[in-house]
Amino acid sequence: MSAACVHTLISLKVPDWVFQEIDKRRRGFLWAGKEKATGGQCLVAWPILRWIWLKRTDANRPWKNLSLDFGNDPEVKAMFNASIDIELGDGCLTLFWSDHWLGQNSPCLITPKLRSLVTPGVRNSRTVAAALSNKRWIQDITGTLTFQALSEYLILWQVVEAFELRVGVEDTISWKWTTDAAYSARSAYVSFFQGTIRFEGAKPIWKTWAPQKRRHHGLTGDATCRLCDQEEETADHLLCTCSFTQQVWHTLLSVLGVQNPPSPVGLSILEWWLLLRQGLSKKQKKGLDTAVMLVSWLIWKERNARIFNGTEQSSSQLIRGILEEGSNWIRAGAS
């Protein structure tokens, strides 16, 4: 992506900040498909991860057999090892000590004490074929064997003896996260979210117009709700099902033109919010999302005022305050 314009940039003596801005936009395009890439989209050293993949799988690379100092970052190595499947053939591509060729394990994982007696250079270069030839892996072990290391040595001996290499059949290294078993940076990034739980309300929260401190504001527990003084206070109760809060919402939803809103009884604030959004236009959803943030913030402030200041507003007073603050938000650019 850089080669085409390098000559022009050099001839024009472009200042450093221009290069930085170009790289910033280029990163955004590569990682997010847009002008800017937000934080968290580069979780490991991606170029190094790609180099490891090419070094291990592409024999035609001119630098394949060079002793290059990359791939030793623990996080990158862990990411790579967790992302590949190895089918052992002749053992010429598979690393004896560090690759997961023993089922889902590697010798380093099942023999941690023994691992410490093998130098990093050997761990990162000794292939299975070379290690099993004349039991060369035994000579890789240096230093004095402790009782634990000796026990692990015997375990590894038994495991290794059960393996037979298939002469003439090349090892297969497959990338887990793509259907064609080939590495891609996108699949590597997406793999970090394996096992995560999706929060359905995340997008409306971050897309809404609201001052930053309102979005990050946290809620703490209390024994009894200070607004209704009837039920235990939870976030869902305070912002959604409290009788005082329901009076506020009933009036404000009418002002917003939301007809026949669903009852919040038995629902969390998130569930009720998502129900309210159903059937609305994109513009109406945006306005509702902003209103949810505004109302939640001022209800929270009312709760705190009652606890810390000993002051109290009626529902009608709070509604007037919300409408006034909403007008300020609109003048500031809210929609």
87-128: pLDDT as tens digits: 888 888 889 988 888 888 888 888 999 989 999 888 888 999
Is 184 in the same domain as 206?
no
pLDDT band at 25 (very low <50, low <70, confident <90, very high): low
Over range 60-89, report the average pLDDT.
Answer: 74
Q: At which of 191, 213, 234 does a domain end?
A: 191
Any bridge partners for residue 175, and if so which? 84
- Mean pLDDT rounded to a whole number for the chain: 80
Higher pLDDT, 305 or 53: 305
Q: How many other CB atoms sit within 10 Å of the CB of residue 123?
A: 17
pTM of the model: 0.48
Residue 172 lies in a domain: yes
The predicted pLDDT at position 32 comes to 44
Residue 289 structural domain: 202-331
> From CA 17, how far away is CA 24, in angstroms rounded?
10
> How many independent structural domains does the chain possess?
3
Residue 11 lies in a domain: yes
Residue 70 lies in a domain: yes
Q: What is the pLDDT of residues 259-275, one digit of tens each?
A: 888 888 888 999 999 99
Joined tokens for residue 160: 């290794």
Is 231 in the same domain as 297?
yes
Predicted confidence (pLDDT) at residue 35 exceeds the cutoff of 50? no
Q: Which residues of 33-71 are buried (b: 16+ CB within 10 A; e: fewer)?
A: eeeebeeeeeebbbebbebbbebbbeeeeeeeeeeeeeb
